Structure 1
Amino acid sequence: MGLGGCIILIAVGAILTFATDWEMKGANLDVIGLILMAVGLIGVVTFSSIAKRRRVVVPPTTPVIDERRNPHPYE
């Protein structure tokens, strides 16, 4: 599940919790919405921690020399 799926879970959970007043026999939609929001939040945290680990910056092995400049400016 990617970041988009996690955001959709949070949105659907918020809609079920805060924007509806439906009554279902045997299910509490407020609790279901809270569970969906919690799962979405856990997914966002997990996704962002995995994405941080994948960013690897490799320093250059040789220095970059700009040959357009005068190598001896005081001669």
Structure 2
Amino acid sequence: MTIGASLLLIAVGAILKFAVTTSVSGVDLPTIGVVLMVIGAVGLVLGLVLSTRRRRTDVVQTNDVPGAPGRRTTYVQDDPRDPRY
């Protein structure tokens, strides 16, 4: 679930909980609003945690191998700007 979808669920849940005064037979709209807000909050937390984990970047340098035209070697190293290092 994306962060935007989570915020949408929280907003719809808050509207159902606090702003809707209409009653529907057999359906408790404030309870549905609370459920949507909880699901949205969980999705928001998970989305933020996963987005911070995906920010790892690597610096890739590609150099020609001397004496072997057309061949390349790749060196991968951690990005020194990454705050985890």
The TM tier, using the shorter chain, reads 0.7 to 0.9
**1:59 Cα shift?**
3.2
Q: Which runs of 5+ in 1 are unaligned?
A: 61-75
- Higher RCO (Cα < 8 Å, 6 or more apart): 1
2:13 aligned residue: 13
Letter in 2 for 1:59: D
Aligned mates of 1:48, 1:35 — CA distance in 2: 20
TM-score norm. by structure 2 comes to 0.66
**1:52 Cα shift?**
1.1
User: How large is the RMSD of aligned CA atoms in angstroms?
Assistant: 1.2
Q: Which runs of 5+ in 2 are unaligned?
A: 58-77, 81-85
For the pair shown, the structure with the greater C-alpha radius of gyration is 1
The structure where strand makes up a greater share of residues is: 2
Letter in 1 for 2:79: P
After superposition, what is the alpha-carbon deviation per residue over 1:39-69, rounded to whole angstroms, capped at 9, x for unaligned? 0000000000101111115335xxxxxxxxx
Aligned mates of 1:2, 1:55 — CA distance in 2: 16
Aligned mates of 2:26, 2:53 — CA distance in 1: 43
Letter in 1 for 2:5: G
Aligned mates of 1:59, 1:42 — CA distance in 2: 31
Taking the TM superposition and a 5 Å limit, the aligned residue runs for 1:1-75 are 1-57=1-57, 58-60=78-80
Aligned mates of 1:55, 1:14 — CA distance in 2: 31
